[in-house]
Amino acid sequence: MQNALPKQAKDAQQQHKLKRLQKLVMQHEPVLQRGACITTGFGEIDAYFTAHVEQAGLPSGGVHEIAAESAADMAAVLGFAHRLAARFLQNGEADDVLLYGQTHAAVRDGGQPYAPALAAHGLSAHQLVYLDGVTMPDLLWAGEQALTCAAVGCSLLASSEAAPDFTYSRRLSLAARAAERPVLLALGRTGASAATTRWRIAAMPGQGWQVKLEKLRLAYDIPPPVSGWTVYPQRSHASQSVPLEEVQTSNLVPLLRRAI
- Strand, coil or helix: 110: helix
Q: Is residue 198 part of a domain?
A: yes
Q: What is the DSSP letter of 235?
A: G
162-216 pLDDT, tens digit per residue, is 999 999 999 999 999 999 999 999 999 999 999 999 999 999 998 899 999 999 9
Per the domain annotation, does 61 fall within a domain?
Answer: yes
Residues 131, 102 contacting (CB under 8 angstroms): yes
Per-residue model confidence as pLDDT tens digits over 6-15: 777 777 777 7
pLDDT at position 31, please?
47
Phi, psi of 246 (to 5 degrees): -90, -5
Cα distances (Å, whole numbers) of residue 119 to 102, 116, 205, 221: 19, 5, 22, 36
Is residue 221 assigned to a domain? Answer: yes
Instruction: Work out the pLDDT band at 255, boundaries 50, 70, 90.
Output: very low
What is the DSSP code (8-state) at residue 244? G
Domain count across the chain: 1
Q: Which residue did the predictor score with more confidence, 204 or 4?
A: 204
Residue 7 lies in a domain: no
Q: Give me the pLDDT at residue 55, please.
A: 86
Q: If you average pLDDT over residues 66-93, what whole number do you get?
A: 94
* Inside any domain, residue 21: no
Q: What is the mean pLDDT of residues 30-56?
A: 85
In which band, very low, low, confident or very high, does the pLDDT at 144 lie, cut at 50, 70 and 90?
A: very high
Q: How many whole angstroms separate alpha carbon 151 and alpha carbon 130?
A: 14
Split at pLDDT 50, 70, 90, the class of 34 is low
**Cα torsion 178, 168, 74, 130: sign:** positive
Domain assignment present for 126: yes
Handedness of CA 110, 190, 100, 244 (dihedral sign): positive
Q: How many CB atoms lie within 10 A of CB 133?
A: 16
The enclosing domain of 252 has a CATH number of: 3.40.50.300
pLDDT at 234 (0 to 100):
79
Q: Quick check: 156 pLDDT over 90?
A: yes
Q: Which pLDDT belongs to residue 23?
A: 56
Q: Which domain holds residue 67?
A: 36-257
